[in-house]
Amino acid sequence: MKIADHLSDEQIKQLKNIKSPKKKKQERVNWPEIMGMNRDIYTRKNGAVRRK
């Protein structure tokens, strides 16, 4: 026997309202940052590592 068999109609309606999925907020993705486009560029000059 299931739990739903023991519940009243009103209680079943309340459960269905709780179970309904809610929309998730879409997150804004900063793709250039994820891909590493804004990173510093380092080069070697006379043995030292310098930022370009």
% residues pLDDT > 90 (the chain): 17
Phi, psi of 51 (to 5 degrees): -90, 135
* Domain that residue 41 falls in: 24-52
What are the helix (H) ranges across the chain? 9-19, 31-35
Domain-embedded: residue 16: no
Domain-embedded: residue 10: no
| Measured distance CA(45)–CA(52) in Å, rounded | 11
Name the residue among 5, 24, 4 with its Cα closest to residue 15: 4
Tokens at residue 17, please? Answer: 């309202």
Domain-embedded: residue 7: no
Mean confidence (pLDDT) of the chain: 82
Dihedral class, residue 38 (left if φ above 0, else alpha if ψ from -120 to 50, else beta):
alpha
Query: Per residue in 30-50, pLDDT tens?
Result: 888 888 888 888 999 999 999
